């Protein structure tokens, strides 16, 4: 008897649980009642963007005391992989930080999944605040970045540069390189002392940033426009900046400037080699500046840009997008507005982040000052070279895995280019 009642009890419990769950409904859904505001971003806790936006959330709550604020921290990779899948559902947040580029924001905007923010941006003056960085949020009807409608608002900027250990440079008598030859000479100096100079990770995103950094340093604006606009099939000749970059990357690994084992290292492993003083140089985006600033205590460090054409990997930061199906768009606009105001922009800059509209006089932190000045210079000289994976869907994964095998030495630069050409040309022929 006992047993039987237990089983029916269990079945009843299951039924009850199931009912209770259906009542819970979806976690990400926004009701559209103006009573809840759901926002997602994937900045690491405590980094400059996160610090500024958390501050904005406080002010937002104060301004909307009756609104329940639901914030979720996501992971960049998760949004990269599943962003389209989430936006294509009814369970969308009111506002999210989304990945810029044709393959991500562009593709979903073309499918009508993002709210057109052109009018709102003009009304609120965000187009002026963001300036040229607004490009990363502007897409045409095919989802290609460039003149079109505004679907995303960047509230910060970023660029990728070398970070170097000033103490080690001084110890080995190395000066900050301004040409490629000097850079290679610096590598040689460290190499001769048994130090692998460049901390790198090819088991994660950093190596493809280095590849792209090397490519844009050989490129001009014309080549970049062709590449991103899918104007022609991918040029795989030896003269193509991308081929040259692949060659350089292969050479640097062969000569031991880059550890061959970096194919099995995650980004964090590479940063750790730099932070712990094992490697004197690394190639890192400005999103790491806050981290370096906070965690590197035992030596002085600085930055220098990739020597070459004056173009660096970089762009406006990732963008705020409002899903078409968002229920509380006005609340989303209110929050974007807070992240774009001077208070937040100054806060971000002083924490070491790249602000778009900080008041230079208010930026007192030396690290923050340097990165903001560098970004402003790059932006005004048309020196932001964006990122190589933007033109084609899933190109991120393609470049990533092929850079990994290139660094690992199991693929030649020519083979590497062939692997990239296939998906690029496939999309190019259907769009162009």
Partner 1 sequence: MSTAPLSHAARKGYLRYLAPGALGFAVVVLVPFVMNIAISFTAWSGIGTPTFTGLDNYQRLIHDEMFWSAFAHSIWFIVAMAIVPTALALVLAAGLFDYLEPRFGPRVSSALRAGFYLPQVLPVAVAGIVWSWILTPYGALNGVLQKVGIADPPNWLGDTSWAMPSVMLVLVWMQLGYGLVIFMAGMARIDPQFHEAAELDGASWLTRFRHVTVPQMRPEIFVVLLTTTIAALKVFGPVFVLTKGGPGDATNVPSYYSYSNFFGNLQVGYGSAIATALTVVVIALTVVFIKIQSKAEGA
Partner 2 sequence: MALTTKVAPPATAARPRRRGRRPGAATDRAGSASRHRRGITRWIVLTLLVVTMLVTLFPFFMAAINAIKTVGDYTAHGPLALPRSFDLTAIKDFWRNVDYTNKLFNSILISGSVAVLGTAISLLNAYALGIGRIKARKALLVTLLLATTIPQEALIYPLYYLAKAVDLYDTRLVVIIISSVMSSAFGTYLLASVLSTFPPEILEAARIDGAGRWQVLRHVVVPVIRPTLAVLMTLFFIWTWNDFFLPLIMLVSNDNQTASVALGSLQGQYTSSPTSLAAASLLGILPAVVFFLIFQRTLTRGAVAGAVR
**Binding footprint of partner 1 on the chain (CB under 8 A):** 81-82, 84-85, 88, 107-108, 111-113, 202-203, 259-266, 269, 393-394, 397, 400-402, 404-405, 408, 410-411
Structure tokens at 38: 């759901």
Minimum distance from residue 111 beta carbon to partner 1 (Å): 4
Size of the site for partner 2 (CB under 8 A): 40
304 binds partner 2 (CB under 8 A): no
How far apart are alpha carbons 330 and 408 in whole angstroms? 50
- Token digits for 103? 């393959």
Give counts: helices (H), strands (E), the chain: 18, 12
Does residue 68 bind partner 2 (CB under 8 A)?
Answer: no
Whether 92 and 323 have beta carbons less than 8 Å apart is answered as yes
Q: Is 196:258 a contact under the CB 8 Å cutoff?
A: yes
- Nearest 10 degrees: Cα torsion 174, 180, 185, 188: 110
Q: In the complex with partner 1, which residue's Cβ is closer, 120 or 204?
A: 204
Of the ranges 76-84, 356-364, 370-378, 389-397, which one interacts with partner 2 (CB under 8 A)? 76-84
- Closest approach, Cβ 245 to partner 2, in A, equals 24
Q: Is 85 in the site for partner 2 (CB under 8 A)?
A: yes
Please report the sign of the dihedral spanned by the C-alpha atoms of residue 244, residue 246, residue 249, residue 251.
negative
Nearer to partner 2 by Cβ, of 120 and 291: the residue is 291
d(CA 117, CA 350): 29
DSSP code for 264: G
* Nearest CA-CA partner of 336 in 144, 92, 115: 115
Nearer to partner 1 (CB atom), residue 84 or residue 358 = 84
Residues 251-270 binding partner 2 (CB under 8 A) are: 266-268
For residue 84, the partner it binds in partner 1, partner 2, none, with Cβ less than 5 to 8 A by kind, is partner 1
| Beta carbon nearer to partner 2, 40 or 257 | 40
Of partner 2, partner 1, none, which one does residue 4 interact with (CB within 5 to 8 Å by kind)? Answer: partner 2
Nearest to partner 1 of 70, 261 (CB atom): 261
Q: Does 369 bind partner 2 (CB under 8 A)?
A: no
**Which of residues 164 and 400 has its CB atom nearest to partner 1 in the complex?**
400
Stretch that binds partner 2, among 2-10, 246-254, 383-391, 398-406 (CB under 8 A): 2-10
Cβ atoms of 268 and 242 within 8 Å: the answer is no
Burial class (CB in 10 A: 0-12, 13-18, 19+), 273: buried
28-67 residues in contact with partner 2 (CB under 8 A) are 28-29, 44-45
Q: Whose Cβ is closer to partner 1: residue 88's or residue 124's?
A: 88
Of 202 and 357, which CB lies nearer to partner 2 in the complex structure? Answer: 202
Question: Using CB under 8 A, which of 61, 78, 179, 300 touches partner 2?
Answer: 78
Alpha carbon separation from 210 to 151, 236, 252, 274, 390 (Å, rounded): 29, 19, 11, 15, 15
Which residue, among 117, 119, 145, has the nearest Cα to 132 in the 3D structure? 145
Question: How far is residue 171's CA from residue 3's CA, in Å, rounded to a whole number?
Answer: 78
Q: For binding to partner 2 (CB under 8 A), which residues are involved?
A: 3-4, 7-8, 10-11, 13-14, 17-18, 21-22, 24-29, 44-45, 72-78, 81-82, 85-86, 88-91, 266-268, 272, 276
């Amino acid at each position: 008897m006992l047993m039987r009642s237990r089983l029916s009890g269990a079945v009843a419990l299951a039924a009850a649980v199931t009912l209770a769950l259906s009542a819970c409904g979806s976690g990400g859904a926004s009701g559209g009642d103006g009573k809840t505001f759901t926002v997602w971003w994937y900045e690491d806790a405590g980094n400059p963007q996160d610090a500024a936006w958390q501050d904005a959330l406080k002010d937002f709550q104060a301004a909307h005391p009756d609104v329940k604020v639901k914030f979720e921290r996501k992971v960049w990779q998760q949004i990269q992989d599943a962003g389209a899948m989430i936006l294509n559902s009814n369970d969308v947040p009111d506002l999210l930080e989304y990945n810029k580029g044709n393959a991500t924001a562009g593709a979903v905007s073309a499918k009508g999944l993002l709210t057109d923010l052109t009018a709102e941006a003009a009304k609120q003056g965000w187009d002026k605040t963001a300036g040229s960085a607004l490009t990363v949020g502007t897409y045409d009807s095919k989802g290609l970045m460039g003149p079109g409608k505004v679907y995303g608002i960047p509230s910060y900027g970023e660029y990728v540069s070398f970070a170097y250990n000033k103490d080690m440079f001084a110890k080995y008598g190395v000066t900050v390189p301004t040409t490629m030859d000097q850079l290679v000479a610096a590598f040689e100096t460290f190499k001769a002392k048994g130090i692998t100079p460049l901390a790198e990770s090819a088991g994660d995103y950093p190596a493809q940033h280095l590849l792209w950094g090397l490519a844009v340093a050989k490129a001009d604006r014309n080549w970049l426009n062709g590449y991103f606009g899918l104007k022609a099939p991918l040029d795989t000749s030896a003269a193509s900046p991308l081929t040259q970059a692949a060659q350089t990357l292969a050479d640097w690994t062969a000569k031991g400037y880059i550890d061959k084992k970096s194919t099995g290292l995650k980004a964090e492993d590479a940063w750790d080699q730099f932070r712990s003083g094992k490697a004197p140089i690394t190639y890192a985006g400005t999103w790491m500046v806050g981290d370096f600033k906070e965690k590197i205590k035992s030596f002085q460090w600085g930055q220098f840009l990739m020597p070459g054409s004056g173009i660096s990997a970089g762009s406006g930061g990732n963008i705020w997008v409002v899903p078409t199906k968002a229920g509380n768009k006005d609340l989303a606009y209110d929050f974007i507005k807070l992240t774009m105001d001077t208070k937040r922009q100054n806060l971000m800059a002083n924490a070491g982040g790249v602000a778009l509209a900080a008041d230079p006089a208010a930026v007192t932190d030396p690290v923050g000052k340097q990165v903001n000045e560098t970004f402003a210079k790059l932006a005004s000289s048309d020196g932001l070279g964006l990122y190589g994976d933007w033109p084609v869907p899933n190109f991120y994964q393609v470049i990533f895995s092929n850079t990994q095998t290139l660094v690992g030495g199991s693929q030649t630069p020519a083979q590497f280019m062939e692997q990239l050409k296939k998906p690029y040309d496939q999309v190019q022929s259907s769009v162009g």
